[in-house]
Chains A and B, each alone.
Chain A
Amino acid sequence: MTPRHHVSDDLLLSYAAGNLAEGWSLAVATHLSLCPECRNSLRFAEGAGGQMLESLDVEPATVTSWDAVRARLSAEPAAPAAPAPKMASHTGTAVLPKPLRDYIGGDVDAVKWQALGTGAAQMRLKTGDRETQVRLLRIPAGKPVPEHSHRGRELTVVLSGAFNDGQTLFARGDIEDADAEIQHIPTATLDADCICLAVTDAPLRFRSWIVRALQPILGI
């Protein structure tokens, strides 16, 4: 089954342009791994980049440039063998898509969960940018994510299980794009724990004063 909730066009364009901070890009790449439809859209966004590259006014390349590159061609290692046939062998299985596994150092069994005290657990992921906070979250079946709002954007990608936010169901691969106005209570469905990637651009601001007081201690 393919996702029903997709990356917005403006986010996809920013990702294609390469000016989306690493944390947001990780959420987009995770969704793209699971969503053929958005991968198709991405081709056109990157195609726009390619055409803009084509349209730049330029001076011809200098002889020096070519000589320098040419000298490196012989020195560089040979090209890798042609890629495997298109239908890559999907022999193995993985819950977390590769972009995410690269940050965790493995699949779900490699996640170093840190209890949140509310029954939920998290693992913070480190990126090169300073504007996002990236976490893998595990919400127990039937339990809500602690009630929260946030100052900016929040992207959530479901990786396992599912959650409801109001009347809307988010399942594997779905991405929820919430802004500051939304006061929402995502709640894991009853059948299984929900694991999702959550990227925010500001520390979360919890409504409950107890949770807010504990925020620095819990590291959320």
Chain B
Amino acid sequence: MIRTPLLSVTTLMNLDVSIASVPWQKGLPLAIGPRPLAAKKRRKTLALMPVVNGTAPEPNMSALLAAIGRSRRVEDFEILFRHFAPRVKAYMARTGSPTSAEELMQETMVAVWNKAALYDPSKGAASTWIFSIARNLRIDAYRREKHPEFDPADPAFQPAAEPAADATMESEQSASAIRAALTTLPPDQAEVLRLAFFEDNSQSAIATALNLPLGTVKSRMRLAFVKLRAVLAQTGDLT
């Protein structure tokens, strides 16, 4: 993958131009045409809006979320909300009633606001981080179970021997590589992933739903993962 010089985390930290001052804040959906901006400001603005496959630029949600963590600007959060809230609600609605989906969506988005300072864009895209928050709330609400997770501050935690080569990779680049990889999956593998991620089906429930042996479900998941890895390895994001 060609690594476009997007903002590194450090640059982002030092970026004193308020995100709120860029024009796309009020201009959703985004205009495609040139923006009347001073050249200096314009460069920074563009850096926040990587163009994916020539489509209209979208605000970089990962940069936006990281900025919210620092600035606590409700106006910025509203942009993030308008993008993610409907998606989170649709996700919740897959396994629950519309009322509970709305409640859980609100729960998720309030948690996103409260925890925004903990978001680290080098660890993954905003969509990944928000997905994991929504997932944990869904497990808690619908199954009354916990989702045990590792804690990097744990004294027993085994850190990587050296920082991963991709520690500073651009989360949005990685995200688009994953998106591309997902579109190349054969339909049977994509179906298994969809059932696992959205319908909250265990492997054996998927096997029953598709009338397949459990081993076939497992191997489809593994094949999907291999494919995901292969595409990412090609882009140099995973070594």
Contacts and interface: CB of A to CB of B under 8 A. Distances in A.
B125 interface: yes
Nearest to B140: A128
Residues of A in contact with B, size category: 35 or more
A56 B91 contact: yes
A52 B194 contact: yes
Contacts of B200: 17-19
B20 interface: no
B193 A52 contact: yes
B2 interface: no
A105 interface: no
B136 interface: yes
Contacts of B155: 90-94
Contact of A57 (B90, B125, B148): B90
Contacts of B219: 10
Interface stretch (A24-32, A113-121, A205-213): A24-32
B202 interface: yes
Given A34-B158, A44-B228, A65-B105, A54 B87 contact: yes
Interface in A46-93: 46-61, 65-66, 68-70, 72-73, 76-84, 86-88, 90-93
Contacts of B197: 16-18, 48-49, 52
Q: Which of B69, B136, B224 counts the most A-chain CB atoms under 10 A from its CB?
A: B224
Contacts of B129: 50
B154 interface: yes
Contacts of B123: 43
B146 A22 contact: yes
Contact of A19 (B90, B128, B202, B238): B202
A54 B95 CA distance: 18
A49 B198 CA distance: 9
B47 interface: no
Contacts of B225: 9-10, 12-13, 41, 44-45
Interface string A180-214: 00000000000000000000000000000000000
A164 interface: no
A87 B218 CA distance: 36
Q: Which of A14, A35, A102 has the most CB of B within 10 A?
A: A14
Contacts of A8: 218, 222
Given A17-B196, A44-B178, A46-B124, A72 B110 contact: yes
16 contacts: A2-B161, A10-B222, A32-B149, A33-B156, A43-B128, A44-B178, A44-B232, A48-B178, A50-B131, A53-B127, A55-B179, A58-B87, A66-B81, A72-B106, A79-B69, A92-B155
Interface of B: 69, 72, 74, 77-78, 81-82, 84-91, 102, 105-106, 109-110, 113-118, 120, 123-132, 134-136, 138-139, 143-161, 164, 174-175, 178-179, 181-182, 193-194, 196-198, 200-203, 205, 217-219, 221-222, 224-226, 228-229, 232, 238
Rank and list the top 5 A-B pairs by shortest CB-CB distance, nearest first: A50-B127, A50-B128, A58-B86, A36-B160, A92-B155
Interface of A: 2, 8-10, 12-14, 16-22, 25-26, 28-30, 32-36, 39-41, 43-61, 65-66, 68-70, 72-73, 76-84, 86-88, 90-99, 101-103, 127-129, 173
Given A50-B124, A99-B150, 20 more contacts: A10-B218, A29-B148, A33-B151, A33-B157, A34-B156, A39-B160, A47-B174, A50-B125, A51-B182, A59-B86, A61-B81, A66-B82, A69-B106, A79-B69, A79-B113, A80-B114, A81-B117, A83-B117, A128-B144, A173-B158
